[in-house]
Amino acid sequence: MTSDTGPLSLNVPEPGCRPGRTPDFSDFEIPRAGAVARPPVDADPDLIRDMAFSIVRVLNKDGAAVGDWAGALSTEELHEGLRHMLLLRTFDARMLNAQRQGKTSFYMQHLGEEAVSCAFSRAMEPGDMNFPTYRQAGLLIARGYPLVTMMNQIYSNAEDPLHGRQLPIMYSSKEHGFFSISGNLGTQFVQSVGWAMASAISGDTRIAAGWIGDGSTAESDFHAAMVFASTYNAPVVLNIVNNQWAISTFQGIARGGVGTFAARGHGFGIASVRVDGNDYLAVHAVAKWACERARRGHGPTLIEHVTYRAGGHSTSDDPSAYRSRREAAAWPLGDPVERLKKHLIAIGEWSEERHKQAEAEVLDTVRAAQKEAEAIGTLTAGKVPSPRDMFEGVYETMPPHLIRQRQEAGF
């Protein structure tokens, strides 16, 4: 040991906004809307390295859409986008309430993150496959998956397409490009790369999108996904949803105090972009760019969606125990619904009145779906899946020992 070295100490990163503290996002650099140029879809990842440190933004604070990434959506598409986000938000609020009323065991909402999945969904095509986490129900909603079916799943009732086997919100729909959700974090990320590789092996035209939270990027599967995506130039879009928190743990624990999540793609030679996740137009534009890149054989893109989880982690979580109650309101990228609404008003395509009316219509739609689902049953009342179902589908053909166990169980 040399005498000029003092004792070592462990670095444990800490967020600046524990309960009781004033939220402070002054270190968070937000580029102006329109400041980041849109490169061609075949851009060499080496030449766009700075995109992993900036943030693609389209909507400015006045609600105008500016810069290279603007203009990809028609007015109808924007109206539809707003409706999808409102639907998701209303759906969440109703289901959260249903959980509180004991109609289901568990729920996870998207509050503040609606633009990410709703806008991304629009960039994908039928036949493409998402490998989502539990926070991308917008992928289903924006693809017109029936709300009643989603609720049947949440209530684990007799019409639940998954027969009550899965935790609420862990949907699955091949037809809607939505891979079956696992409760084990990160596993789907590398699977999405495998699906994309299979498409390439088969000479197909379809692409995949992987999804992961900021906290879960620490999982080894995240890194495995990057290795395979880069080695095989897989036609995949790898999405990191950085909503700042992993339950009580802030994003700095997965990232350390350095770099960005997007910059993790650099070591793999993967095109890496950060986008304003609360800007519907920006998310869509970047998603479209990345999907086109994948589809044209230019390989994987890593997208970090910078957003904020405004609600609790799940219905089992009380965020006020670990972060300032005022943090959500201080979040500098605003509310995705409000921002799109403001844009539509700014271009003369919307008004406060129409918005109120739309909110009321959406509420009616969700309420009607809820009524329909609850008429079938909830976790605690009404028609439930048969316990026989629990023995089905473990294997394609039920082996003798399971038949015996089913009989033993009395079904």
Ligand X SMILES: Cc1ncc(C[n+]2csc(CCOP(=O)(O)OP(=O)(O)O)c2C)c(N)n1
The single-letter code of the amino acid at 191 is Q
Q: What is the CA radius of gyration of the chain?
A: 22
End-to-end CA distance of the chain: 71
* Residues of span 227-256 touching ligand X by CB under 6 A: 241, 243, 245-247
- 188 in Cβ contact with 131 (< 8 Å): yes
Q: Of 7, 20, 126, 183, which one interacts with ligand X (CB under 6 A)?
A: 183
The residue written with tokens 């130039």 in the block is: 233
Output the smallest distance, CB 219 to another protein, in A.
5
Q: Of 216, 272, 301, 307, which one interacts with ligand X (CB under 6 A)?
A: 216
Binding mask 36-75 vs another protein (x if CB under 8 A, - otherwise)? ----------------------------------------
110 binds ligand X (CB under 6 A): no
Nearer to ligand X, 155 or 222 (CB): 222
- 196 in Cβ contact with 235 (< 8 Å): yes
Binding mask 350-389 vs another protein (x if CB under 8 A, - otherwise)? -----------------------------x----xx-x-x
Q: Distance (Å, rounded) from C-alpha 192 to C-alpha 47?
A: 26
Distances (CA, A) of 46 to 37, 255, 365: 15, 22, 47
Q: Of 64, 72, 218, 363, which one interacts with another protein (CB under 8 A)?
A: 218
Q: Distance (Å, rounded) from C-alpha 273 to C-alpha 261?
A: 10
Output the smallest distance, CB 187 to ligand X, in A.
8
264 binds ligand X (CB under 6 A): no
Output the smallest distance, CB 235 to ligand X, in A.
24
Q: Quick check: helix, strand or coil at residue 325?
A: coil
The structure tokens listed for 236 are 């995949």
Nearer to ligand X, 262 or 362 (CB): 262
Residue 385's binding partner, choosing from another protein, ligand X, none, with beta-carbon cut-off 5 to 8 A by kind?
A: another protein
Q: Distance (Å, rounded) from C-alpha 276 to C-alpha 333?
A: 7
Q: Of 67, 112, 168, 215, which one interacts with ligand X (CB under 6 A)?
A: 215
Q: What is the DSSP string of 113-161?
A: -HHHHHHHHHHS-TT-EEE--TT-THHHHTTT--HHHHHHHHHT-TT-T
Q: Residues touching ligand X: how many (CB under 6 A)? A: 15
- 291 in Cβ contact with 123 (< 8 Å): yes
Output the smallest distance, CB 10 to another protein, in A.
4
Nearest-CA neighbor of 115 among 58, 170, 172, 67? 58
Residue 400's binding partner, choosing from ligand X, another protein, none, with beta-carbon cut-off 5 to 8 A by kind?
A: none
DSSP summary character for residue 293 = H
Interface positions with ligand X (CB under 6 A): 135, 183-185, 213-216, 241, 243, 245-247, 309, 313
Interface positions with another protein (CB under 8 A): 9-10, 12, 14, 18, 105-106, 156, 160, 163-168, 170, 182-186, 215-216, 218-221, 246-249, 253-254, 316-317, 321-322, 379, 384-385, 387, 389-391, 394, 401-402, 405-406, 409, 411
